[in-house]
Amino acid sequence: MRKKRLRGLQGGDKGAYVVDTGVLIEYLDESSPLARKVEALFEDAIKGEVVLHTVSSVIAELLYVAYRFYAMMKIPEPNRRAYEYLAWLQHYVGLRVISLDDRLALEVGELKKALRIALTDCAVIACARRINATPLFRRIEREMEPVLAELKRLGVAFLEHINPL
């Protein structure tokens, strides 16, 4: 069966994306309609067609959310499985983790003041701006609705709006 590619992402060089926790965790929920889109994105990353980045605060959130997911699914050793998922993302999919330096942290703070959305979401956007990438989120969250026009101006993309080819 031929795998579907994604249409609708506008990345920087070579298709670069800074992904949020929601995108990364969606892959684990096989019943989710968005899981196939994440799978296609990961396959493109494995083939070197796109480059995936995230920020260190997303790694912290992902460890917690993956642990909770595995525990809820009653999968043995949920903490070990969460760490294995993180390792798989970094070593197989090629997810690159960006740490905040002082200057980037200040930009995150400025975005937080202006947008009033989650701090980690601001970090994803700030990192994407720094490396000329597309910040990618799973879906529009309630707190994002009032600033949606500004998010679009900042190049934010949402997995729920991307169509498979």
How confident is the model over 82-136, as pLDDT tens digits? 999 999 999 999 999 999 999 999 999 999 999 999 999 999 999 999 999 999 9
CATH number of 14-164, picked from 3.40.50.300, 3.30.70.360, 3.40.50.1010, 3.90.1150.10: 3.40.50.1010
Q: Are 54 and 18 in contact (CB under 8 A)?
A: yes
In whole angstroms, what is the distance from residue 63 CA to residue 155 CA?
27
DSSP β-bridge partners for residue 7: 163
In whole angstroms, what is the distance from residue 161 CA to residue 165 CA?
13
Lowest mean pLDDT among 3-7, 19-23, 138-142: 3-7
Domain boundaries, the chain: 14-164
Following DSSP, what letter does each residue of 29-67 receive, concatenated?
-TTSTTHHHHHHHHHHHHTTSSEEEEEHHHHHHHHHHHH
Whole-number Cα distances in Å, 139 to 19, 21, 145? 12, 11, 11
How confident is the model over 9-68, as pLDDT tens digits? 544 445 999 999 999 999 999 999 899 999 999 999 999 999 999 999 999 999 999 999
